[in-house]
């Protein structure tokens, strides 16, 4: 596997080794020992999966500490534009975002540590999105930031007039009014 750190400390792109032949392909989407050997000490305890149709934007979601979640995200089927926003006060990249396409062809993954908001947009007709979490879901600590916040200026790779966003996500506060309790 190849690991590349983004310009945001702790936010990592993981490229697995894919073995392909005329029958198809095989790759390890997760191997605790191999990840540990590469510096990951995160203990994942929950797996989640969602399916969405084209032009859906989900996010930006996070959970307040002590229920914050690190996530290891990947696409099982389709293409998404995946985004993580640094919410760690005192970080040199506080309020900055990083985005990349995740797809079912190159099988890249993104490791998002605790202290980040996360979201994604669907670029293919449908997409199945999978993520491992190191903490359970806790509805009382769930928070969101409006995905079309003018301060963040995230380009979701979908025309704003075509975006399909849940009512809950549309009502999320902007970054400047979001409840955040993370420190760098």
> Taking the alpha carbons of 43, 45, 50, 55 in that order, is the dihedral positive or negative?
negative
| Predicted pLDDT at 34 | 87
Q: CB neighbours (10 Å) of residue 106?
A: 11
For the segment 73-131, what is each residue's pLDDT rounded down to a tens digit?
Answer: 999 999 999 999 999 999 999 999 999 999 999 999 999 999 999 999 999 999 999 99
Q: Which of 61, 62, 98, 118 is catalytic?
A: 61
| Predicted pLDDT at 61 | 98
pLDDT at 136 over 90: yes
| Predicted pLDDT at 60 | 98
Window from 28-32, 70-74, 106-110 with minimum mean pLDDT: 28-32
Percent of the chain with pLDDT over 70: 100
Would you call 94 a catalytic residue per the annotation? no
Q: Per-domain residue ranges for the chain?
A: 2-183
Q: Which residues neighbour 27 within 8 Å (Cβ) at sequence distance 6 or greater?
A: 16, 17, 18, 19, 107
Q: State which fold the 2-183 domain adopts.
A: Jelly Rolls (2.60.120)
DSSP 56: B
pLDDT tier for residue 51 given thresholds of 50, 70 and 90: very high
| Predicted pLDDT at 4 | 95
Mean pLDDT, the chain, whole residue set: 96
**Cβ 130 vs Cβ 76: under 8 Å:** yes
Q: Which of 35, 62, 98, 131 is catalytic?
A: 131
Would you call 118 a catalytic residue per the annotation? no
């Amino acid at each position: 596997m190849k690991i590349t750190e983004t310009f945001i400390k702790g936010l990592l792109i993981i490229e697995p080794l894919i073995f392909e032949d005329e029958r198809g392909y095989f790759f390890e989407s997760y191997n605790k020992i191999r990840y540990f050997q590469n510096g990951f000490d995160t203990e994942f305890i929950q797996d989640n999966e969602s399916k969405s149709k084209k032009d859906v934007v989900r996010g930006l979601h996070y959970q307040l500490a002590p229920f914050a979640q690190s996530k290891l995200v990947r696409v099982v089927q389709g293409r998404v534009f995946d985004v993580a926003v640094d919410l760690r006060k005192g970080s040199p990249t506080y309020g900055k975002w990083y985005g990349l396409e995740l797809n079912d062809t190159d099988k890249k993954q993104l490791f998002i540590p605790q202290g980040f908001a996360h979201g994604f947009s669907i670029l293919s007709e449908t997409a199945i999105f999978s993520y491992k979490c190191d903490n359970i879901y806790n509805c009382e600590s769930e928070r969101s930031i409006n995905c079309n916040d003018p301060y963040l200026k995230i380009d979701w790779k979908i025309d704003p007039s075509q975006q399909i966003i849940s009512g809950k996500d549309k009502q999320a506060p902007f970054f400047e009014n979001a409840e955040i309790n993370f420190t760098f």
